[in-house]
Structure 1
Amino acid sequence: MKIYVSLAAVAASLVIACSSSTANAGAVLDGVLATKTLRVAVGTDWGTISFLNDKHELDGSDVDVAKAIAQKLGVKVQFVTPAWDIITSGKWEGRWDVAMGEMVPTKARAEKLSFPALYAYGAAVAVVHKDSKAAKLSDLEGKIVGVTASSSNENYANHTLTPDWEGAKPIEYKFTPGEVKTYGTDSVALDDLRLGDGVRLHAVLTDRSVVQSAIKAGYPLKELSEPLFFTTSAIVILPGDKEFSDKIAATIKKMRDDGTLSKIMIKWYSVDRSIAQ
């Protein structure tokens, strides 16, 4: 008796073959090509990086980058929106193939995740309410500071950040918060800060692009001019699938060489954040 196996069934078996923290060699890439779909994890409220627009559609720089990656792979893109801490945990359970979010590729994260290509550069900054008397980072000494949980900014606030990513410079801590409050996203933290200086927070630590987007949207905030540190951001996959990693790396290189990546960054930020600052 002949047994016929559908292409979809084969693809499903490839997905199941991926464990919660690693991927079998070739399995993810084979699944993407078989289903002609690249599943990408993004956020719905990550500022300009990724958000829901007026049509309730996902939009933003990460969304455009993901669409461009899929296009160059010759597949369609499917977005999923897990929590940030689930993404960083590495427990993907085969639910997506790639994660965005401008993640800083630290060595600690590399124990659970893989970073095939850098695609954006940024600066972490402190932002305060416009009525705040704080003018420099040292003015935040003993203050209540908000950060996204499981982020490099949380590590900075707790003085546990290890600058071990590509191009990193030594970290100098300019203040010690009196309290560090963690949030699911930067947007929720900024919503608390906009209520007033010290109402819930005195400052939020986040990427400069997030601050600029919030201020443009009418948030009564101001950035303290001195950056906390400069970052590199990477595409994120699970370790174990060298074929998929190499394909993503080659695709990002192609997007950098043909100007696609630069155009996306300039479209959303008016500056080319694909180039190191």
Structure 2
Amino acid sequence: MMLGKTLVTLSLLATAVLSHTATAGETLDRVKHNGELVAVMDQSYPPYSFLNDKNEEDGFDVDVVKEVAKRLGVKSKIETPSWEVIAAGHWRGRWDICICSMTPDEKKAKGLDFVAPYYSSPAVLVTNATGSSINSVSDIEGKRIGIEQGSSYERYLQKDLVIGYGAKQIQYPFKQVQPTPYSSEDLAYQDLGLGAGKRIDGIVANLVTANKRIQASSGKFKIVGAPLYEEPNWVAVDKGDKEWNATIKAIINELHKDGTLKKISLKWIGTDITAQ
């Protein structure tokens, strides 16, 4: 009888171990089986991700996705659900990875695992270049400030952003503003371009994307003051697959060490924003 119980116990333990192993490698197994890495990102976030003249996804993040897929021995596929959906996590196998200029914070970490940093660029305040009464960050008190819905910028304006991950503590030189969420930065810049204060008074954005918009707008926008806070950007994946996390972390570390990330950064940004 004791022998029988022991065999049953060992059988159950073996099943549990096998089950855990299958779960831990679920994403990698799926990617290898499908021969495809499905990545998510913002469709209009130049120069990180945008539609080029051939109506194809292009940019810094797209090139990093392609390189990760190459090192996994698979093809890459880009999908562009809303930012809110991406940031919420719980993807349930629909997507494999977010190399999508995502800043880690406590709220997103409830649904996503942040596995490796791949670049850093600070947040800045952008206003219309003419007629704006905003000359410093403290001047946004009570103003309507545009941000992409669900982004870390929205939580910054709500004074509820906790990044961690080695970033300095954020300071808020204002008491209260009116966050104005948009489904994309394109729409926010369109409204800001109508004139200072007509629909919004400013935008909180990434320094690199802000510079890109300024260059493309023939002087319609400007950056006000110093950067608002450090903004590390990490590769994110759905929560709970330790093997997948380790695999992606190892690849991103390789891309740092062999200079591939630096090369991609110089191509799209003109400077190296990937230094650790």
TM-score by length of 1: 0.87
Counterpart of 2:64?
Answer: 65
CA distances 1:218-248 after superposition (whole Å, capped 9, x unpaired): 2610001311101111111112211111110
The answer on 1:117 being equivalent to 2:116 is yes
Map residues 78-227 of structure 1 onto 2, 5 A cutoff.
78-131=77-130, 132-164=132-164, 166-218=165-217, 220-227=220-227
Structure 1 residues 121-151: Cα deviation after superposition (integer angstroms, max 9, x where no partner): 0100100000124221122222111111111
Q: Contact 1:145 / 1:177 at 8 angstroms: preserved in 2?
A: no
The equivalent of 2:9 in structure 1 is: none
Shift of 1:46: 1.5
Is the contact made by 1:114 and 1:236 (CA closer than 8 Å) also made in structure 2? Answer: yes
Aligned length in residues: 253
Give the aligned partner of residue 254 of structure 2.
254
1:231 alignment counterpart: 231
The alpha-carbon distance between structure 1 residues 158 and 36, as it changes in their structure 2 partners (threshold 3 A), is same
Counterpart CA distance in 1 for 2:176 and 2:100 is 25
| Structure-1 separation of matches of 2:241 and 2:207 | 33
Whether the 8 Å CA contact 2:265–2:273 is kept in 1: the answer is yes
Aligned-pair CA distance for 1:107: 2.6
**What secondary structure sits across from 1:72 in the alignment?**
helix
Runs of 4+ in 1 over 3 A off after TM superposition: none
How many angstroms apart in 1 are the aligned matches of 2:162 and 2:80? 28
Residue in 1 that maps onto 2:272: 272
Matches of 1:196 and 1:170, distance apart in 2? 33
Is contact 1:47-1:187 (8 Å) kept? no
Is residue 144–residue 177 contact of structure 1 (8 Å, CA) maintained in 2?
no
Asked if the contact 2:97/2:235 (under 8 Å) is kept, the reply is yes
Q: Is the 8 A contact 2:89 2:239 kept in 1?
A: no
C-alpha distance in 2 between matches for 1:201 and 1:108: 26
- Alpha-carbon distance, 1:163 to partner: 3.5
1:23-62 map, 5 Å: 24-62=23-61
Amino acid at match of 1:235: V
The answer as to whether partners of 1:183 and 1:189 remain within 8 angstroms in 2 is yes
d(CA) in 2 for partners of 1:93 and 1:242? 15
Amino acid in the other structure paired with 1:224: V
Cα pair 2:192 2:200 within 8 Å, conserved: yes
In structure 1, C-alpha distance between the alignment counterparts of 2:139 and 2:86, rounded to whole Å: 33
Q: Distance in 1 between matches of 2:161 and 2:181?
A: 16
Q: Which is higher, the Rg of structure 1 or of structure 2? A: 2
Shift of 1:177: 4.5
Cα distance between partner residues in 1 of 2:239 and 2:90: 12
Deviation at 1:255, TM superposition (A): 0.7
Alpha-carbon distance in 1 for matches of 2:189, 2:99:
21
Q: Deviations over 1:197-225 (max 9, x none)?
A: 01101000011111011011126100013
Deviation at 1:175, TM superposition (A): 2.1
Q: Retained in 2: the 8 A contact 1:60–1:268?
A: yes
State how far apart, in whole Å, the 2-side matches of 1:65 and 1:195 are. Answer: 35
Once the two structures are TM-superposed, the CA of residue 24 in structure 1 deviates from its matched residue by: 2.9
Q: CA RMSD in A?
A: 1.5
Task: Supply the distance in 1 between the matched residues of 2:264 and 2:58 (Cα, whole angstroms).
Answer: 12
Code of the residue aligned with 2:194 in structure 1: it is L
- Structure 1 counterpart SS, 2:98: strand
Letter of the 2:127 partner, please give it: V
